[in-house]
């Protein structure tokens, strides 16, 4: 068992790798399922370097190693490391790759935690940034500085589901010698292949689709061995380690990733199509709809459009809240990517900290509703939204 991708393995398809990659060979005591090694420390056996010492904070228990190998295989990377949350993976990666005096180019409209870290916290470490419009590559060169080291984007933005020009991001990074980093939480390895598309590092909030059951927090970083080594080194010191039990749960969750995401793609498309036809709805943001401004780009790059959508309800906040109250299947909660459908009004949850005038500028109205579509029967979801919307119109 090693925590890097074993390229001597046959190149199996994604669904097979999700189940089998990284599993210990031979099985431990014959256990078909990876056991939990709930041990903080391990007996020494003549290790010569600190990195070889087996200790839970060094991210090298058997559960970490198996999970790292599974994730590396899933994303087609050389190596992977997990962290205690998506934010731990993101902040540790940025602090591993950037130092005082460096400059970062980051996408406008990133996940709120990342946006705040980039725009406020990094400055305290002496690291500068500029924000770029993901749809206007012609404007990016003007933002470059001699100290620009990396470019940071997301596959699909929250909550308006914009799809930046990722092909141009890769090209731009290569031309200017930048490390390209993508948070692909929304797309998952099922719908988009960042490393095969030319990105250097892919990050995930494992809390969302990778685990898929809304019952843990985790993060992941996948890419070339040397970059992952640098992130791991920083993570060992910052200490955002994933507990072995959470490793076990994430490992188990990943086995059904492909099945779940395929169903979520199908359900979200069905729901988006229904909502687009509803007179009670003003506009639906879903990259799988032909009306989405970047639909062509999404169709070219993605093999599925994902489980996330948002829409405006006619009748404003009152109507939106009334819909949330009337729906019977979705739980009203933030977060996303679980098997159960979740619904939220971003102005009151994920974007509550953004001043109202700034939200308007970003195109996020108070009546915008975001749905993380689960794996329920699509007919039941559509029927539930149908009854919910009927009641408010
Ligand atoms: N990245 C994206 C796209 C997210 O939506 C989130 C959380 O919502 C995160 C990162 C942060 O993940 P976590 O909550 O696991 O720290």
Question: How far is residue 156's CA from residue 301's CA, in Å, rounded to a whole number?
Answer: 12
3 lines ligand 1 (CB under 6 A): no
Q: What is the mean pLDDT of residues 184-212?
A: 98
- If asked whether residues 74 and 191 sit together in one domain, one would say yes
Q: What is the mean pLDDT of residues 336-352?
A: 93
How many other CB atoms are found less than 10 A from the CB of residue 279? 8
Known catalytic residue at 300: no
26 belongs to a structural domain: yes
5 belongs to a structural domain: no
User: What phi and psi values does residue 103 have, to the nearest 5 degrees?
Assistant: -135, 140
- Beta strand 179-183 pairing with 281-285: unpaired
- If asked whether residues 316 and 244 sit together in one domain, one would say no
Per-residue model confidence as pLDDT tens digits over 100-124: 999 999 999 999 899 999 999 999 9
Taking alpha carbons only, the member of 337, 310, 313 closest to residue 325 is 313
102 lines ligand 1 (CB under 6 A): no
Question: How far is residue 116's CA from residue 248's CA, in Å, rounded to a whole number?
Answer: 31
Q: What is the mean pLDDT of residues 369-388?
A: 98
Q: Quick one: pLDDT at residue 46?
A: 84
Residue 232 has pLDDT above 70, yes or no: yes
Residue 6 confidence class, pLDDT cut points 50, 70, 90: low
Q: Quick one: pLDDT at residue 177?
A: 98
Question: How far is residue 201's CA from residue 222's CA, in Å, rounded to a whole number?
Answer: 6
The residue from 111, 152, 192, 209 that is catalytic is 111
Any residues with CB less than 8 A from the CB of 281 and at least 6 apart, and which? 275, 311, 312, 313, 314, 389
- If asked whether residues 213 and 227 sit together in one domain, one would say yes
Residue 8 has pLDDT above 60, yes or no: no
Q: Which of 114, 159, 185, 210 to mutate to test the pocket of ligand 1 (most atoms within 8 A of CB)?
A: 185
- If asked whether residues 299 and 232 sit together in one domain, one would say no
Question: How far is residue 357's CA from residue 198's CA, in Å, rounded to a whole number?
Answer: 37
Residue 67 confidence class, pLDDT cut points 50, 70, 90: very high
158 lines ligand 1 (CB under 6 A): yes
Domain of 303, CATH number, reads 3.90.1150.10
- If asked whether residues 161 and 300 sit together in one domain, one would say no
Q: Quick one: pLDDT at residue 338?
A: 98
Q: Which of 82, 84, 85, 87 to mutate to test the pocket of ligand 1 (most atoms within 8 A of CB)?
A: 87
4 belongs to a structural domain: no
Q: What is the mean pLDDT of residues 56-76?
A: 97
Q: Quick one: pLDDT at residue 9?
A: 58
Per-residue model confidence as pLDDT tens digits over 301-325: 999 999 999 999 999 999 999 999 9
- If asked whether residues 233 and 346 sit together in one domain, one would say no
User: What phi and psi values does residue 304 have, to the nearest 5 degrees?
Assistant: -160, 160
Least confident of 3-7, 9-13, 213-217, 375-379: 3-7
Residue 353 has pLDDT above 90, yes or no: no
Question: How far is residue 311's CA from residue 283's CA, in Å, rounded to a whole number?
Answer: 5
Instruction: State the sign of the Cα–Cα–Cα–Cα dihedral 188, 93, 132, 142.
Output: negative
Residue 37 has pLDDT above 90, yes or no: yes
Question: How far is residue 151's CA from residue 133's CA, in Å, rounded to a whole number?
Answer: 12
C-alpha of residue 219 to centroid of ligand 1, in Å: 8
Least confident of 31-45, 325-339, 345-359: 345-359
Residue 351 confidence class, pLDDT cut points 50, 70, 90: confident
Q: In what order do the strands lie in the sheet with 179-183?
A: 79-83, 219-223, 201-205, 179-183, 148-154, 103-107, 128-132
Q: Among all chains, which residue has been given the structure tokens 């489980």?
A: 307
Q: Quick one: pLDDT at residue 356?
A: 85
- If asked whether residues 215 and 283 sit together in one domain, one would say no
Residue 344 has pLDDT above 70, yes or no: yes
| CA of 90, closest atom in ligand 1 | 10
Domain boundary among 254, 272, 306: 254
Both tokens of residue 75? Answer: 């994303």
The rounded mean pLDDT for the chain is 95
Q: Quick one: pLDDT at residue 336?
A: 97
Q: What is the mean pLDDT of residues 285-313?
A: 98
- If asked whether residues 240 and 330 sit together in one domain, one would say no
Both tokens of residue 116? Answer: 């705040």
Residue 7 has pLDDT above 60, yes or no: no
Question: How far is residue 80's CA from residue 101's CA, in Å, rounded to a whole number?
Answer: 27
DSSP three-state, residue 301: helix
Q: What length does the chain have? A: 393
- If asked whether residues 172 and 299 sit together in one domain, one would say no
Domain of 101, CATH number, reads 3.40.640.10
Domain boundary among 237, 254, 271: 254
How distant, in Å, are the alpha carbons of 53, 69, 79, 101 from that of 236? 12, 18, 16, 23
The residue from 17, 70, 149, 208 that is catalytic is 208
Domain of residue 343: give its range.
258-389
Residue 69 confidence class, pLDDT cut points 50, 70, 90: very high
Q: Quick one: pLDDT at residue 49?
A: 80
Instruction: State the sign of the Cα–Cα–Cα–Cα dihedral 167, 170, 174, 177.
Output: positive
| CA of 186, closest atom in ligand 1 | 3
Would you list the DSSP string of 69-136? HHHHHHHT-SEEEEESSHHHHHHHHHHHH--TT-EEEEETT--HHHHHIIIIIHHHTT-EEEEE-TT-
Residue 349 has pLDDT above 80, yes or no: yes
- If asked whether residues 250 and 285 sit together in one domain, one would say no
Q: How many domains does the chain have?
A: 2
Known catalytic residue at 208: yes
268 belongs to a structural domain: yes
183 lines ligand 1 (CB under 6 A): yes
Residue 1 has pLDDT above 60, yes or no: no
Q: Quick one: pLDDT at residue 10?
A: 59
Per-residue model confidence as pLDDT tens digits over 174-191: 999 999 999 999 999 999
- If asked whether residues 168 and 231 sit together in one domain, one would say yes
Q: What is the mean pLDDT of residues 53-64?
A: 96
Known catalytic residue at 255: no
């Amino acid at each position: 068992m090693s925590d890097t991708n074993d390229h001597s393995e046959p190149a199996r398809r994604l669904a097979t790798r999700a189940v089998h990659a990284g599993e210990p060979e031979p099985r431990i005591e014959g256990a078909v399922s990876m056991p939990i090694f709930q041990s903080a420390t391990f007996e020494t056996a003549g290790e010569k370097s600190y990195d070889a010492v087996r200790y839970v904070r060094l991210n090298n228990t058997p559960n970490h190693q198996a999970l790292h190998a599974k994730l590396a295989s899933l994303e087609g990377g050389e190596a992977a490391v997990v962290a205690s949350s998506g934010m731990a993976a993101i902040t540790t990666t940025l602090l591993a790759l950037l130092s005082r005096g460096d400059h970062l180019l980051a996408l406008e409209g990133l996940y709120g935690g990342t946006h705040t870290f980039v725009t406020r916290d990094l400055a305290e470490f002496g690291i500068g940034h500029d924000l770029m419009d993901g749809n206007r590559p012609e404007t990016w060169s003007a933002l470059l500085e001699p100290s620009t080291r990396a470019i940071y984007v997301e596959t699909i933005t929250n909550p308006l589901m914009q799809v930046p020009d990722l092909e141009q991001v890769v090209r731009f990074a290569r031309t200017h010698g930048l490390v390209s980093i993508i948070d692909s939480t929304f797309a998952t390895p099922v719908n988009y292949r960042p490393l095969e598309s030319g990105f250097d590092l892919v990050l995930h909030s494992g809390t969302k689709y990778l685990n898929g059951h809304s019952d843990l927090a985790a993060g992941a970083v996948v890419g070339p061995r040397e970059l992952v080594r640098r992130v791991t080194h920083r993570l060992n010191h910052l200490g955002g380690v994933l507990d072995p039990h959470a490793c076990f749960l994430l490992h188990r969750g990943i086995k059904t990733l492909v099945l779940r995401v395929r169903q979520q793609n199908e359900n979200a498309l069905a729901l988006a199509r229904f909502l687009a036809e509803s007179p009670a709805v003003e506009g639906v943001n879903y990259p799988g709809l032909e009306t989405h401004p970047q639909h062509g780009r999404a169709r070219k790059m993605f093999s599925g459009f994902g489980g996330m959508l948002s829409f405006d309800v006619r009748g404003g906040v009152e109507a939106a809240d009334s819909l949330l109250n009337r729906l019977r299947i979705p739980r009203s909660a933030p977060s996303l990517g679980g098997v159960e459908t979740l619904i939220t009004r971003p102005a009151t949850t994920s974007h509550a900290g953004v001043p109202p005038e700034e939200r308007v500028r970003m195109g996020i109205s108070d009546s915008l509703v975001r749905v993380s579509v689960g794996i329920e029967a699509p007919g039941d979801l559509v029927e539930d939204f149908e009854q919910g919307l009927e009641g408010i119109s």
